Structure 1
Amino acid sequence: MNSGDECNIKEFQVDAPSFKVGELIIFSDASKKSHSWRWYFGDNTQISFRSKVAHSFMEEGEYLVKLIVNNECTIQKVITILPKENSLDKSKFPKFRVPGNVMQDEEVEFVDRTDGAKSWEWRFGESGKVDSFDEKCTYVFTTPGKKVVSLVVNNDYKHVTIKELFVIPKKKEVIKVEKYKSAIPWNPFKNVPDAPPEEEKDDVVKVVKGPEIGGTDARKLEDILESVAKGKTNYESFLKHFCKYNLPIVIYKDAKTSSLKEFFYAVKKKGDKVKNVTIQKDGEDCIRVINIDKKHKSYF
């Protein structure tokens, strides 16, 4: 699809029995030649990347829903969410429990306990589609952050139970390899001369440490970021404090992440001092993780 074809897309489909707080709404794009989608729902929830997604809004009001097709064509539509009716039969809502917090990449079990349930649709807030059709299922959350878990039973989309949980980022394990010597009684190649060393080739890629990496701690990084915010340090100078081929990931208070380059330009644009920074280093003294005590939306 070329740019002209893409922007002939004028709208996307919205299907729901009603537009009320907590009820599932189906958003879809059936345009031809589309190959990528990004859905923004205007309520600070995660982006969805499928042609057809289900979403629910937790508060009443107007939301600007935006779809970007093939990274070029943008379609927007205002969705008005009405207050939730109190007349709904509470006994028809699916009954299940969720833990408050779970660990990333660990299996979590979910069980429906609704009387008379014969069919199930579990959604766990990551794939944008139905994740399980079973009464009892397990799921592994692959990304950290807040997740919305919803369950529909007996195709009753009017009575949907929605619950939230938080996925805690997994900690990176540092595996120490112990060196040991093997007692070999006889070495048949002991007296065989070594081959002459090969000349070093120019195309061999080496991990290069920045010249300023030694001694960089969280306090020093805060001072460097203050210089960035004041416009006194450019990106090239900033990189001198990191390992060239092992740049760190930046994790924010709400568990969202960004690249080092994105964070640099966000700090530079915002112009505010960055406080309460913590870092994690590897065995080579390379900074691998930068933890920021503010939410992602504070910078983006």
Structure 2
Amino acid sequence: MKPSNTQRNTYMDRSIVLFFVITFFVTAAVFAFKYVNYIPCEIIDFDINAKNYRVGEIIRFKDKTKGAFKREWDFGDSSKTRSGLSPFHTFENPGQYNIKLKINGQCEGIKTIIIKEKVFILDSTKLANFKAPASIKVGEVLRLKDNTKDAHKWEWRFGETARVNSIKKNPQYIYESPGLKTITLIVNDDNRYATRKKIKVLPSNKKVNAPKKRIRRPKESSSTIKYAPKDAIKNEPKTEFRAPDIKDSNFASKIMAVSNKKASAKDFSKYLCDNLQLQMTARGKRTTFIEFCEKIKGKRIKIKELEIFRNKKNNCIEYITIQYSKTGLF
């Protein structure tokens, strides 16, 4: 017996109602799940803890976000993302990094961290090692010997010029002028381990007496008017340029004025003979004088050591070595 049209319609109405009921409950369940696990992006919170925020130091990250069940950490240094409540991480290079934490695959929190350079620890075994006499006379041969362990390259400066005077392991040198000189030795191209020693150069005892020549002057009448010969005027010696003198202490004071923004590199032009691109060593690193001035501008510094090398002929400063420490920002 075939079902009537009324029975068919009733069966179809029940199926449609059942479909909508099931759809409603599924949608409600999904909505309830999302509602319960919903975390507003603005309340994502995490801590960053370390003794020193420097290259190679271990840094701990800890999530404090409530309701989080899935975490994805991005440390901003091209390393692999990490998961977990409290991961550890180290940075290999100094710089500024954006730390991102993604919670439950939805929201993302960001904090910025600055990693400083690794603290340099001086290895005393790498210091340039040599002995020098307390004094020597002009014209005498100075003989030195390097005793540095594992040294294979040498740069000797004897304090009379800014240039490297010898690249031998055991050099010899003869001073041409008296005074207090500084002997500097750099081994293996590492300025951080340079050694400097003072030596007093005494005048030579030898005196050279030039024979005196008698100059015969022609007799001239009192009425004769004397004029300098034209050739003598042309051949008059020209005055050579010479940079003004400045004491090391005054030079250091000017550098401090640069750090205080009360002076600039241009104020040193007359001492550097307008060479603001002068090569120098600052805190063991080679740079130019103008770059050094820009680097210390607006920063509090303390000068620990300053050494200036001058050209003997024109007194121009040709090289500078400076050691200083930073004491903070203005």
Same fold? TM cut 0.5: no
TM-score by length of 1: 0.38
User: Whose relative contact order is higher, 1 or 2, with alpha carbons under 8 Å and at least 6 apart?
Assistant: 1
Quick check: which one's helix share is greater?
2
* TM-score (structure 2 length as normaliser): 0.35
Higher Cα radius of gyration: 2
